Amino acid sequence: MTTRTAQQAARTARPAPTTPAAQSTQADRPAQPAHPAQAAQPAHGHGPRLPWAKLAPDVYKAMIALEVAAKKGLEPSLVELVKIRASQLNHCAFCLDMHVKDARAAGESEQRIYLLNAWEEAADFYSPEEQAALALTEAITLLTEGFVPDAVYDRAAAHFGQAELAHLIALITTINAWNRFGVSTRMAPGQA
């Protein structure tokens, strides 16, 4: 169970009051947060925190340059699939909104966009190259083992030349950086 799922379960798993006195007492009290860090945040209050790109314009410009360089030589449809998948894993609503729109504008099918979160179970919808790139995206984004497994890297290396693979790794790293800017500053979807 993910941390986010565990927190949601803890918030909703309060026992129902059994007596009229308990019902009235419990109804009069505000719900207690499951974790002390939640006390400082309103439920689902995800408004923007700070306009980081305006406050650090040199960093923003460097990120744009890195992104442009990273995607050189990669198929545009693959680029968007990678960006969407990393953004799903990182829970970046701003980036998901942007890259789903970009994928649609580039001609990506609704079905492939919808199934991306379960691409391994819907493998027939993605080419072997896309599957290898998505597996590498997950391994680099999550680093659950503390490293990228050899089998995942070798699978990607079998489908991409060395220069393409270097660009793919740079692309995955770049979207993860964008996601971290978006999530940490709570960039709002639809507001660029």
Query: What is the reported pLDDT for 192?
Result: 61
pLDDT tens digits along 34-90: 544 444 444 456 678 899 999 999 999 999 999 999 999 999 999 999 999 999 999
pLDDT tens digits along 112-121: 999 999 999 9
Rounded CA separation 164/176 (Å): 18
Q: What percent of the chain has pLDDT over 70?
A: 74
Confidence class for position 146, pLDDT limits 50, 70, 90: confident
Rounded CA separation 67/151 (Å): 26
Rounded CA separation 145/152 (Å): 12
